[in-house]
């Protein structure tokens, strides 16, 4: 089983989302059957940010590969590497903090990089088709406040739509909410998240 762990907190130390993503990976290892090999790739978008989609990048992407300048080829190769990592993964585990009601810009840049027409999705006579099929995706969501199952949670609908568009439909969410509301609330949120991890990995 190939696991790809994507961290998107800006924090190098003390990130709850990164820690919960690690816990999901540990739980997957523990649940693996005897003899099942597990390979883990970790990409930390906070520590190694992926470049944003700007005009030069769009030009590089829309230039035929044989006509790209060396700089354009190098820029597209950065996105290619992320796509290859994701294609190779059976399981994807993402740590996702809430920043200003959305996903971190670092994660958005990753999503922009992996969403490529004719590679990770395509348009057919029947509409769009995602090409990243057969994967299980875990999201460890961390928030200072409480948003789960309310209209204020713009993260989860966005993540569901984006990942499903790319063909990933087995999506499992773990929430640690109320992390900014004092030590007791934080402790309660983290214990609750551990229980959710047990449940979603076993499901
Ligand atoms: C820049 C920034 C913006 C944030 N925006 C929100 C927000 O909109 N809603 C919320 O509930 N918490 C917000 N928080 C709190 C974080 O979601 C919370 O601290 C979470 O634990 C961060 O994830 P991490 O521990 O993995 O770094 C914000 C934190 C930061 C640093």
Residue pLDDT, tens place only, 54-86 = 999 999 999 999 999 999 999 999 999 999 999
| Cα–Cα dist 94/160, whole Å | 13
Query: Quick one: which atom of ligand 1 is closest to the CA of 97?
Result: 23
**pLDDT score for 99:** 98
Please say whether the dihedral angle defined by the alpha carbons of residues 104, 110, 113 and 114, taken in this order, is positive or negative. Answer: negative
CB of residue 8 inside a 6 A radius of ligand 1:
no
Protein residue with least CA distance to atom 2, ligand 1: 99
What backbone phi and psi angles, to 5 degrees, belong to 88? -75, -15
Q: What is the pLDDT of residues 119-129, one digit of tens each?
A: 999 999 999 99
- The two three-digit tokens of residue 28, written as one number: 């997957």
User: Given this model, what pLDDT does residue 7 score?
Assistant: 98
Chain mean pLDDT for the chain: 96
pLDDT for position 32: 87
What are 148's two structure tokens? 């789960």
Angle CA 70–73–77, to nearest 5: 135
Q: Report whether residue 98 contacts ligand 1, using a CB cutoff of 6 Å.
A: yes
Percent over 90 (pLDDT), the chain = 96
pTM score of the predicted model = 0.96
Question: 113 in ligand 1 pocket by Cβ < 6 Å?
Answer: no
Substitution candidate for ligand 1 out of 148, 180, 187, 190 with most atoms within 8 A of CB = 180
Task: Tell me the two tokens of residue 135.
Answer: 């994967």
């Amino acid at each position: 089983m190939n696991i790809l762990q994507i961290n998107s907190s800006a924090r190098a130390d003390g990130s709850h989302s990164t820690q919960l993503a690690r816990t999901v990976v540990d739980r997957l290892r523990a649940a693996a059957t005897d003899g099942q090999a597990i390979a883990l790739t970790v990409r930390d978008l906070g520590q190694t940010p992926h470049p944003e989609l700007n005009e030069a990048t769009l030009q590089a992407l829309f230039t035929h590969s044989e006509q790209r300048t060396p700089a354009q080829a190098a820029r597209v190769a950065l996105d290619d590497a992320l796509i290859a990592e994701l294609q190779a993964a059976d399981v994807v585990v993402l740590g996702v903090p809430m920043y200003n009601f959305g996903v971190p810009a670092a994660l958005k840049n990753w999503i922009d990089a992996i969403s490529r027409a004719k590679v990770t999705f395509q348009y057919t006579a029947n509409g769009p088709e995602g090409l990243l099929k057969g994967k299980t995706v875990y999201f460890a969501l961390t928030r200072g406040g409480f948003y789960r199952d309310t209209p204020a949670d713009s993260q989860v609908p966005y993540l569901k739509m984006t990942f499903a568009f790319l063909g990933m439909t087995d999506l499992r969410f773990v929430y640690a909410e109320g992390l900014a509301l004092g030590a007791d609330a934080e402790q309660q949120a983290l214990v609750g998240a551990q229980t959710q991890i047990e449940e979603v990995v076993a499901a």
